[in-house]
Chains A and B, each alone.
Chain A
Amino acid sequence: QTVVTQEPSFSVSPGGTVTLTCGLSSGSVSTNNYPTWYQQTPGQAPRTLIYSTNTRSSGVPGRFSGSILGNKAALTITGAQADDESDYYCVLYMGSGIVVFGGGTKLTVV
C-alpha cells in the first residue's frame, strides 16, 4: 500500500524560511501526482494552499510556494508568520481516481 511521507513536526523562527516535504514510500513524486498542500488549524476544515505542484490557490499569500525538490514535493514558507503555525498536509494523486494523504506536519513558529 502506498504511503505518503511527511515530517511529523517542524519549527521555524518568525521571519524565517522553512521547507516541508512530501515523499513516497516507494518511488519518486512527480508533477503527475499533482501534489496538493493543505493548511489546517485546530477545529477547522483544511484550506487549499497549493495545487498542481506549484499553483497558489486564490487568496493564498505569496510567501507560500510549491515545488518538486529531488524526488519529493515541497512546500516552502518564506518569511514565516505567527499565524502560519498549523498542520500541513500534502495529498498525491496515484491514478485511477485515487488520492493519498500524507500524515501531516505540525509547524511551530517560535
Chain B
Amino acid sequence: QLQLQESGPGLVKPSETLSLTCTVSGGSISSSSYYWGWIRQPPGRGLEWIGNIYYSGNTYYNPSLKSRVTISVDTSKNHFSLKLSSVTAADTAVYYCARRCSSTTCYLNAFDIWGRGTMVTVSS
C-alpha cells in the first residue's frame, strides 16, 4: 500500500527558505499515471494548492506562489521536495504532500493519497 511521509524542520525563520521532503513508500514515484504535489493549510483556514511535479521533472505551480516555489524530484531516492523562499508568518501552515492522478485509469485530477501533514511555523 503506497504511503507518503513529509519530513523537514518544524520551525523556519522569517526571510529564510522552507524545505520539506516527501518520501514515497510501497510504490514507485516513477509512474506515468501520477503527479506528486504539495498542498498547505494555515491554522483554522482552508487548503491551498502549492504545486505538482511529474517524475520526469515537469512542474506546475500555483501562480500566486510561483516566484518563491521550487519542487524537485529524486527518483533514485523515491522522494520529492518543496522549497519555499523568503517565508513570512503567512506561510505558517500544515504542509501536505499528495499523489494526484493524471490518467483515466485512476481518479483523474484527484489527490487520492495524502501524507499525514507536517506543521511548519515561521517565527524568529
State yes or no: do A and B come from one complex. Answer: yes
Q: Which residues of chain A are within 8 angstroms of B98 by Cβ–Cβ distance? A: 45
Contacts known (A45-B96, A45-B114); A89 close to B47, Cβ less than 8 A: yes
The CA-CA distance from A58 to B49 in the complex, in Å, is: 23
Q: Mark B71-108, 1 if CB is under 8 A from A, else 0.
A: 00000000000000000000000001010110000011
**Is chain A's binding surface mostly helix, strand, loop or mixed?**
strand
Knowing A45-B116, A46-B114, say if A100 contacts B109 (CB, 8 Å).
Answer: no
B47 touches A36 (CB 8 A): no
* Distance, CA A55 to CA B100, complexed state (A): 16
A36, A57, A89: the one contacting B109 at CB < 8 Å is: A36
Determine if B111 and A48 form an interchain contact, defined as CB atoms under 8 angstroms apart.
Answer: yes
At the interface, yes or no: A96 with Cβ under 8 Å from chain B? yes
Query: Which residue on chain A has the smallest CB distance to residue B39?
Result: A101
Interface residues contributed by chain A, number (CB under 8 Å): 24
Q: Classify chain B's interface size.
A: 20 to 34
A23 CB-CB contact with B under 8 Å: no
* B21 interface contact, C-beta 8 A: no
Instruction: Name the distance in Å between A40's Cβ and chain B's nearest Cβ.
Output: 8
Instruction: Indicate the member of B63, B98, B116 with the most A CB atoms within 10 Å.
Output: B63
B-contact bits for A12-52, CB 8 A (1 contact / 0 none) = 00000000000000000000001010101000011010011
Apart from the given pairs A45-B98, A97-B60, A98-B63, 12 other A-B contacts in the complex at a CB distance below 8 Å: A1-B63, A34-B110, A36-B110, A45-B114, A48-B112, A55-B107, A57-B110, A89-B47, A97-B35, A98-B49, A101-B46, A101-B48
Report, nearest first, the 6 A-B pairs whose CB atoms are least far apart.
Answer: A97-B60, A45-B114, A51-B110, A34-B109, A51-B107, A104-B46
**Interface, chain A (partner B; CB < 8 A):** 1, 34, 36, 38, 40, 45-46, 48, 51-52, 55, 57, 89, 91, 93, 96-104
